[in-house]
Amino acid sequence: MSMVKMDKISILGHLSEKDNIVRALMDKGVVQIEDASFMKEELGEAVENDVADSVVPELDRKIDFLDQAIKTLKNNSGEKAPMFAPKRRYESPRGRKLEIYNIAEQINNKSKEIASLSSEANAVKNTIEQLKPWEKFDSPLNKMETKGTKVMLGTFPLKQNFSEIKKQLEAEDINALIEEVDKDKQFTYAFLVAEKDDVEKAFDFLKGHSFTRISLEESDKTPKDCIEDCNQRIENIEEEKKKILDEIVSFKDRREDMENLVDSFMMERDRRKISENFLKTKSVFYLTGWTPAAGAEALKEEFTDKYQCFVEVEEPGADEEHPVLMQNNKFVEPYEMITNMYSPPSIKDPDFNWILAIFFTLFYGMMMGDFGYGIIITVGCAAAIITSKFKRKEGNLFKLMLYCGISTMIFGILFGGFFGDLTLLKRFAVLDPINETMRFMGISLTLGIVHVYIALVIQGYKDLKNKDVLGFIGDTIAWIVFIWGVVVLITTKILHIQNGFWAESFWGQQMGRFTLAIWILIIGAILVVATNGREKKNPFMKFFGGISALYGITGYFGDVLSYSRIMALCLSSGIVAVVMNQLARMVWHGPLIILGIVIILFGHALNLFIGALGAYVHTCRLHYVEFFGKFYEGGGRLFTPFKRNTKYTDAEL
Amino acid sequence: MDAKWLALIGAALAAFLSGMGSAKGCSIAGQAAAGVTTEDPAKFGQTLVLQLLPGTQGFYGFIVAFLILSNAGILGTGGGDVDLVKGLAYLAAGLPIGVVGLASGIQQGKASAASISLIGKRPEEMGKAIIFPAIVETYAILGLLVSFLIVNGVK
């Protein structure tokens, strides 16, 4: 359980060996390669930055292209990938790359065809929409004039009185007439027949009545026949699309090949790209990076033996920034995720993840506090873990929730909670959250004080590691004593609690607890005043710095009160569960039992979801704000070695 | 004097105020979710979860309403007479989850909508996206708790 010691590794090799060395580094996967250009000035003019291979963009394009084909296959083949399944082993597509790529090309061409067919179908549908109102106009669309007359199509807004316009037109001195074809919610569709000489006049007249001319595509058929043609065309298109889709689906056995090819290209791309971090001269290249100290010497020997290169391993300087790698046992490891979500630890932070693991599990269990829900969480996560065959550092959320589920079961027993108020476990209960709310609150706040104390101790540990004894007294001892005094004073004098953990936390019972509390308080306050202004130079400033630090107690007060959320979340999810059971009991007779079952299933599922989410969020919050705030620096970089990174398959050696 | 009507008002306030909050919140989040789903229908599941988050206030309001009704003897057979003091207590019990549910439902809806657009751009950050609206939820939980403590405290 600790931070892994890192060593700086530098390799100077002949250019002809570059590919081999890079490949070996990738296969090993233990070196994080860093940008070496900061060394350039030191090394003189003959040295220049190396660049990524020019094939990199081409490889990126190919990867996208293959991904697209795989996606098309996945969407259309109807195969459902199981939700939790381990990644397939990688099989090298060596020698078949061109052939496999060719398949992706075929698939993508076919999906292009489908896309163009779809857009054609849309165009045809638009035409149908246009023709629809003219369905009753039973003349071919290219016979719109005779020797002496001309026909014109157009619309009137519905609010224009068509028969009125028609009459008016007849009354005018124009050889023309209009006739209605159809009506819909917006327009009256009509045609105008006029003698050729009078067409313009008639049109002008109608324009005055909001007539809008419509021109349809020429055709030797009537609108009705045109629509029928269009429908036929759409049917054909659909058939064609289906045929092409079937052709695409027929490639579904080749999906794994394409996935292998993507991963092969990805690894190749990474190998080609990494050299942009290197330096080079005409004959040698230089790379630098970090590797766990434990394997560094072995790595050095192996590389110097096998390749034409010179390897140097050195320890980092005292404050030299480097990537961090944590090493923890199987229980603690998933909890690194919680810390990293906030911010990865800096090189100055100790690895406290085991403490976080204990309290995270504890708080989560208390916030859920229900045996039934605990079983569901535990079994669900266990099932996911078993079917997915997670390796280490994978599926952290499921592993973490597995432990939290077990904790939930334990606190379910302690709180007598089993799907709310089912009485199965009541006799084992040591605390009844709903009826002993104040006691529960006291326990929550006490845990809060303990949690805050531990955070202060970690800060003290950091101070001691830096040989800052005054800091250790000021940051840790002084505050622990001062907070202790304040807590005892509050519990005994303000809340009048004469027994219990805090009130009895003194050995001098005969002396009167109050007096002792006051003394503790005063000693604590003196320590705080004496040490918390230590950064100031001027003695007066030191004193005032210390005095104003006392005000910090309000912050701790708020921090501790914040832990009451443990009680609040446990109670609220308990209440909802109880009410669900009550609702179900109301209908629990006769055929209505079915309704009761639905209420129970739905209600508890919803409550479990909200409760589990709430407990997770609030446990995180307690750590991020109340716990981390006391000591954590963060802002580090996680160790991300150069290794075989793949998308679809498992290619680790 | 029988003051069951006060309990009824309390239950009604708890249910309808928080219900309004959730309805508004879900609607805000739903509009954002529909927008993101238009771009990428595969995000339906993720955005749906986020849209559902502001729905819990109405649910809590319903719980409190139910507790008031059953404790006041309006629903079921339990409960004794409700005098004026008890009636006022039940009325008061409806207010925390009612008012906080109304406000926090709407505000959580806005946080959800923002998280949904986060999902639109970075679907891999679901874990973080869900945390932002869940923090607004805290106050609804506290409202539920106080409402419950009041109902429980009526003797």
Residues A336 and A393 in one domain: yes
- Gap between the Cα atoms of B143 and B14, Å rounded: 10
- Judged on CB neighbours under 10 Å (0-12, 13-18, 19+), B100 is buried
Residues A109 and A248 in one domain: yes
Q: Which domain holds residue B10?
A: 4-153
- Gap between the Cα atoms of A141 and A123, Å rounded: 19
Contact (CB<8Å) A572/B152: no
Chain A (534-573) residues lying within 8 Å, Cβ to Cβ, of chain B:
565, 568-569, 571-572
Decide if pLDDT at B118 tops 90.
Answer: yes
Decide if pLDDT at B77 tops 70.
Answer: no
Contact (CB<8Å) B128/A341: yes
Determine contact: B130 vs chain A, CB below 8 A: yes
Contact (CB<8Å) B66/A582: yes
Using a CB-CB cut-off of 8 Å, the residues of chain A touching B76 are 586
Point out the domain boundary residue: A563, A589, A619: A563
Using a CB-CB cut-off of 8 Å, the residues of chain B touching A621 are 135
Cα A177 to chain centroid distance, Å, stands at 69
Q: Crossing angle of helices A478-489/A513-531, nearest 10°?
A: 150
Using a CB-CB cut-off of 8 Å, the residues of chain B touching A75 are none
Contact (CB<8Å) A579/B67: yes
CATH of the domain at A39: 3.30.70.2170
Positions of chain A with pLDDT under 70? 1, 495-514
Q: Crossing angle of helices B44-52/B84-121, nearest 10°?
A: 160
Residues A453 and A309 in one domain: no
Using a CB-CB cut-off of 8 Å, the residues of chain B touching A434 are 152
* Among B23, B27, B6, B26, residue whose Cα is nearest residue B95: B6
Using a CB-CB cut-off of 8 Å, the residues of chain B touching A572 are 60, 141, 144-145, 148
Within 10 angstroms of residue A428's Cβ, the number of other Cβ atoms is 12
Residues A42 and A82 in one domain: no
Output the DSSP codes for A516-585.
HHHHHHHHHHHHHHHHTTTT-SSHHHHHHHHHHHHTTHHHHHHHHHHTTHHHHHHHHHHHHHHHHHHHHH
Query: What value does the mean pLDDT take over residues B97-115?
Result: 95
Minimal Cα–Cα distance from B136 to chain A, Å?
11
Determine contact: A337 vs chain B, CB below 8 A: no
Q: Which domain holds residue A232?
A: 51-128+228-275
* Among B77, B57, B72, B145, residue whose Cα is nearest residue A585: B77
Determine contact: B74 vs chain A, CB below 8 A: no
Residues A245 and A120 in one domain: yes
Using a CB-CB cut-off of 8 Å, the residues of chain A touching B149 are 437
3-state helix, strand, coil in chain B (%, to 5): 90, 0, 10
Determine contact: A575 vs chain B, CB below 8 A: yes
Within 10 angstroms of residue A17's Cβ, the number of other Cβ atoms is 18
Handedness of CA A545, A547, A550, A554 (dihedral sign): negative
- Gap between the Cα atoms of A436 and A230, Å rounded: 76
Helix, strand or coil, per DSSP, at residue B81: coil
Mean pLDDT of chain B: 89
CATH of the domain at A172: 3.30.70.2750
* Total domains in the fold of chain A: 5
Where do the H-state alpha helices sit in B40-79?
Answer: 44-52, 56-71
Residues A453 and A593 in one domain: no
* Predicted pLDDT at A507: 47
Whether the predicted interface score ipTM is above 0.85: no
Contact partners, residue A625, CB within 8 Å, separation at least 6: A559, A562
DSSP 8-state assignment for residue A330: T
* Predicted pLDDT at A428: 85
Report the chain B residue with the minimal C-alpha distance to residue A612: B134
DSSP 8-state assignment for residue A11: E
Contact (CB<8Å) B134/A614: yes
Chains A and B form CB pairs within 8 A to the count of 50
Residue A405 lies in a domain: yes
Residues A380 and A460 in one domain: no
Q: Crossing angle of helices B56-71/B126-153, nearest 10°?
A: 10
Using a CB-CB cut-off of 8 Å, the residues of chain A touching B128 are 341
* Predicted pLDDT at A510: 43
* Total domains in the fold of chain B: 1
CATH of the domain at B118: 1.20.120.610
Tokens of B113: 């909508």
Determine contact: A613 vs chain B, CB below 8 A: yes
Distances (CA, A) of B140 to A2, B55, B89, B103: 40, 11, 20, 9
Tokens of A1: 């359980």
- Note the pTM of the prediction, 2 decimals: 0.80
Determine contact: A621 vs chain B, CB below 8 A: yes
